[in-house]
């Protein structure tokens, strides 16, 4: 019997650094917004100062890279690109992690719904945040799905179990070691598969070919 791997469509987001790494590299965030249109999402990131300019992913990536060069990388990529995908808008933040900071995602989600995933292979950690109208509903570090937090930390448990996430804290050293290996091996693909289950929007490579509105991320 043929089975389908639910993580297969998202392995491109977990490509290792170096030869063959994905177009987003090893530091990036992707957020899904429901209740705003693309220009409105850009205005949220820019604190009302910018509604975005039409561009493609290469243009977004160039702006982000220039920002990284100017700031030595400590402030992320400084820009976001947004496009519509069904009922949701997708916001891509190359070289950045701002959207999953608690104080940022709560502000971005006021009056709408935001689900965000960050991959960060260096100083920060991979993270998942799901917020509605200024409140984090469920969040977790991608390698530690058993340490969930938020106003309703168990809301997504059924989806998480379907994706093979261990939701119970390990009880002994052997269990900790096994959980570490399993959770870190598939952390990023599982997070994006979970995002797809919640939003109905699988984030696939061809999405980066879509026209988008690009704008700055204003410091908070």
Q: What number of other Cβ atoms are within 10 A of residue 103's Cβ?
A: 9
Residue owning tokens 């006021």: 110
Tell me what percent of the residues of the chain surpass a pLDDT of 90.
81
**What's the whole-number average pLDDT of the chain?**
93
Tokens for 61, please give them. Answer: 């990536």
Residue 28: is its pLDDT beyond 90?
yes
Determine the pLDDT at residue 4. Answer: 85
**Domain edges within the chain:** 25-216
For the stretch 33-68, pLDDT in tens is 999 999 999 999 999 999 999 999 999 999 999 999
For the stretch 95-152, pLDDT in tens is 999 999 999 999 999 999 999 999 998 865 799 999 999 999 999 999 899 999 999 9
**Torsion (CA) 105, 43, 88, 10 in degrees, nearest 10:** -60
C-beta of residue 34 within 8 angstroms of C-beta of residue 88: yes
């Amino acid at each position: 019997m043929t089975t389908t791997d639910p993580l297969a469509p998202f392995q491109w987001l977990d490509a290792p650094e170096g030869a063959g790494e994905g177009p987003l590299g090893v530091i990036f965030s992707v957020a899904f917004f429901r209740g705003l249109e693309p220009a409105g999402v850009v205005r949220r990131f820019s604190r009302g100062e910018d509604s975005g300019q039409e561009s493609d992913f290469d243009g977004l990536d160039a702006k982000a890279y220039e920002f990284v060069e100017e700031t030595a990388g400590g402030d992320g990529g400084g820009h976001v690109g947004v496009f519509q995908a069904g009922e949701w808008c997708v916001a891509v933040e190359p070289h950045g992690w701002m959207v999953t900071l608690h104080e940022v995602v709560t502000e971005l989600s006021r009056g709408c719904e935001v689900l965000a995933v960050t991959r960060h292979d260096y100083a920060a950690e991979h993270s998942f945040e799901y917020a509605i109208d200024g409140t984090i509903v469920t969040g977790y570090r991608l390698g530690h799905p058993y340490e969930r937090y938020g106003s309703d930390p168990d809301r997504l448990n059924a989806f998480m179990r379907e994706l093979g996430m261990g939701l119970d804290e390990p009880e002994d050293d052997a269990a900790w070691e096994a959980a570490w290996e399993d959770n870190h091996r598939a952390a990023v693909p599982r997070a994006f598969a979970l995002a797809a289950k919640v939003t109905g929007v699988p984030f696939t490579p061809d999405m980066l070919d879509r026209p988008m509105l690009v704008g700055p991320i204003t410091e908070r």
